[in-house]
Each structure stands twice: as C-alpha cells, then as structure tokens.
Amino acid sequence: MSALSIISSWKKNSFKPVYWLEGEEEFFIDEVINYAEKQILSESDASFNLSVFYGKDANWAEIINACRRYPMFAERQVVLLKEAQQMRDIEKLEAYIDKPLESTIFIVSYKGKALDKRSKLAKTVKKNCEVFLSKKIYENQLPAWANGYIQSKGFEIAPKALSLLVSHIGNDLSRIANEIEKLSLNIVQGEIISVEDIEKFIGVSKKYNVYELQHAFSVKDEAKALRIIQFFEGNPTAVNYVTILPTLYSYFTKILTIHQMKDRSDYALRPLFFNNPIAVQEALIAFKNYSFEEIEHAILLFHEYNLKSIGINSYGASFPSLMKEITCKIIRP
C-alpha cells in the first residue's frame, strides 16, 4: 500500500475505518494526512465532522470519544492524530482500533519510526488497520522520483536540470517538492524546465554546483574542482554540504560498475544513469580517466572523509578544507 494508492482509493469513496501511517519518510505521510484533512470532507461537512489531535498534547480518552461519535449531517467523520509518536499512553488506543466504528475514518500519523512489532498495539494495528510504511527513498532513486513528481505537475525537465536540482537538494523530498512548486508558479505549463530555470528560480549557480563538481572529477580538472569548492566556502548557502560526498560516492560506484561490465555500450549503461545519455557520456569519460584501482582508492577516500565530515579523526578541519584534501588525493593520486 502506497500513499498514492491510499489517496486514489479515497477519491473513489473507498474507505477503511483505521489507517496507520508510519516510517522514516515524512513527506509521504504528510501527503496522505494533508489530503485527508482538506479533501475527504466538504468544507461544510468538515466544520462538524473533522477532529484533529496532536500527539504531544493529546489525551487518549478524548481521541477515543471523538472516534466513537457518530457523524453530524454526513455519511462519515474524519479523526486525525498527528505526530502520534509523541503521544503518551498511545497503547490505550488499542481498544478502539480493535473494534473501530465504520462511520469514522481514523488516521494516525506515526513519524520517524515504526511500532514495536512485539507490542499488543502493533499486533492489533496489523490485524485491523490499513498500514502504510513510509520508507526513505535511496539516493539513486531521487532523480526518477523528482522527474515523476514534475510530470505530475504537467511539466518536463531537461536531464541536466534534473541532475542539478537533485544534487543541490539531496534526499529531502519536502524541499524538492517545494522547489518544484516554486518552479511551477514561474514557468508556463508544458514547457521544459531548463538549467537556466533552476539557476533563476531556485538559486543554484550554473557554474558552481555539485553537478559541475562531479564533472570536474570526471575529467580530472583539479583547478575547476578547487574553484567550485572555494565558491562553496565563500557561499555556504549555495550548496547543501550533506549531499556532496554521497553524490560523488554514488557516482564513482557507478564508474566502478562500468569497469566490471563486459558490455559498455550506450544501451547497457543507460539504466545506471536513468536513461540520461549526457550522464552516460560523462561516465565513459571518467571510466577512461580512472583505472579500476584509482576508482577503488577514491571510494575508500569518500568513506574516510565522510567520517571526517562528521567529526571522526578530522582534527577540527572545516568541510571545504576536507573537500580540498580529497580532491587532490583523487584527481592527483
């Protein structure tokens, strides 16, 4: 069960008495909760039949009483419990979940983790609820997800612009969605989103970004790589530091995969790079510029410097300083 399938069933007026939304990825949980709050009931019905509770301040008895009420002048009522992971005595909801009211749609948002499967509540939830486990999207899935989200808004995006958007923001779906919303307000529907649009409306420099840093590594342009890192150091809001090393690590891992492939044709390599022909050509340049041993060495360095970036054996060095070190060690081993 996905967020999309839950919302699709609601659009068809198909409802279950209890929905339990849990997991690490908050974006999809918020997507379901926002739809439930604003779309299931009409505005007039919601004034009488929508109850919203927040876990930190919620009282279990009040929630159960709200769930056991019958709807007023409507077929159903909606009860939302947001931030349920912060609620005390949440296990006391088990009695209602075991025997829910058919005319109530009770939706629980339990973010950041999952219930202990050994608990009585978890067993009752599994038995009686429509459970949605919201998992984090892997870094290599981000371009496909962002591209799908953009298409759902009625737009297309150029491959390089997509790479620039994702590499700049990283694995933050809410922020990616917000930036796409910003783009949709400034671009005519049906147009292809370009690198210039990303630069103009999101504020990502066309010359100084993670994508261009990756290109500098591919062609072993040490001077360009250091210029980009120097720009990041002077403009810390221009890049999300957290995305840099994972992006480069993921890229070099793909180059390592190419070294191990017998078929290095464009057709064979495209699935590695989300069918982006430009990315394939750049990867082949990196493949020619780095031996198998150099790629292995680089991957080990990315792991080592990722630990240093979070304070392990870094001796207080700043992130830009660490990036300058690793750049020289990889491009000029």
Per-chain mean pLDDT for the chain: 91
Measured CA to CA, the distance from residue 233 to residue 229 in angstroms comes to 6
From 207, 189, 206, select the one nearest 197 (Cα to Cα): 206
Q: How far is CA 256 from CA 164, 251, 289, 329, in A?
A: 22, 9, 12, 18
**Counting beta carbons within 10 angstroms of the beta carbon of residue 173, is it exposed (0 to 12), middle (13 to 18) or buried (19 or more)?**
buried
Bridge partners, residue 157, by sequence: 193
pLDDT over 90, % of the chain: 68
What is the average pLDDT across 223-233?
94
List pLDDT tens digits, range 243-280: 899 889 989 999 999 999 999 998 999 888 877 788 89
Per-position DSSP letters for 23-37, written without gaps between them: ES-HHHHHHHHHHHH
Question: Which amino acid, 58?
Answer: A
Residue 156 three-state SS: strand
List pLDDT tens digits, range 82-127: 999 999 999 999 999 999 999 999 999 999 888 888 899 999 999 9
